[in-house]
Amino acid sequence: MDEDFRTPMLAVLSDRRSFEPGWLFERKLDGVRVLAARRQGEVRLRSRSGQPLNRTYPELVDALDAQPFMDFTLDGEVVALHRGRTDFERLQRRMQLTSPVLARNSGITVVYYLFDLLRLDGHDTTALPLRDRKSVLRKAVDFRTPLRFTPHRTGDAERLLAEACGRGWEGLIAKRADARYVHGRSPNWLKLKCGLGQELVIGGFTEPAGSRTGFGALLLGYYQGGRLRYAGKVGTGFDTATLRSLRRRLDELRCEHSPFDDPVRERGAHWVRPELVAETGFTEWTREGRLRHPRFLGLRQDKRATEVVRERAE
């Protein structure tokens, strides 16, 4: 595996609200994780699952290619902005483009928020405390559009989270200031969410009713012990264009048998190979393990379906 693009450090969902001194709080961004590396003058972008992204975000490649250091590995989040706010729906349209020409002329502006530094000028920085890595990152990178430094705050986590939710943010990421960077999920990074939401695998769909087009609802699940468990259906959050384009993709994945380990009692359900991952928001999990009041937020292309498990607060 390319040492520049090993699994990035990942946060654990938490309902913790009280923190001792020594934690930093960053905005939880509504985008996609992107690692960037430059070696011997060549810039490469990769998703968290290792997919190449140079052709999707050519303006980021240009900005990183203009940096003073010839050797670095950076970690951050790419977001799409609309009227000053992040917009995952717009980003999803950009994520599907693999032509640099179409990407540059899409009209969808993206920003790369950098929050960590893994290597600089031939030196591995992952063993440094986070506060030191961020300090070096701020000084090493020329932060001009579309690159931005991810700021952080300290203090009362409950108050900071309330302020974040009041601004319409997804939440905060709490990080231990003295923690080193590790590859994989770590309790030293915690997700503090304003609302519930997570990725789920699409395993089927229902036919539309009435004047609706495309499909009625997506049938969703998550993996547990290698089995795809049914989590319910989502039928809201789609515009007409998404209903039609997603139906075309679903038809390409049609299969004869249900991929779910649990029985799914949906009349006229169609099954698909569990390859697509949907970002969903919802109010809570029911005691039966189903989503309550779910809404579709978009497709994710930065996570493999087999990696999707039910997130539980720790």
Active site residues: 28
What span, in angstroms and rounded, lies between the C-alpha atoms of 2 and 6? 7
Q: Is 123 strand, coil or helix?
A: strand
Phi, psi of 54 (to 5 degrees): -55, -40
Element housing 230 (H / E): strand 227-234
Length of the chain measured in residues: 314
Nearest one of 110, 248, 57 to 65, comparing CA atoms? 57
Nearest one of 173, 174, 157, 210 to 17, comparing CA atoms? 157
- Residue labelled with tokens 């929050």: 115
What span, in angstroms and rounded, lies between the C-alpha atoms of 116 and 238? 34
Q: What residue type is assigned to position 314 of the chain?
A: E
Structure-block tokens of residue 84: 């000053």
Q: Torsion over CA of 294, 266, 301 and 148, rounded to 10 degrees? A: 0
- Residue labelled with tokens 């049938």: 219
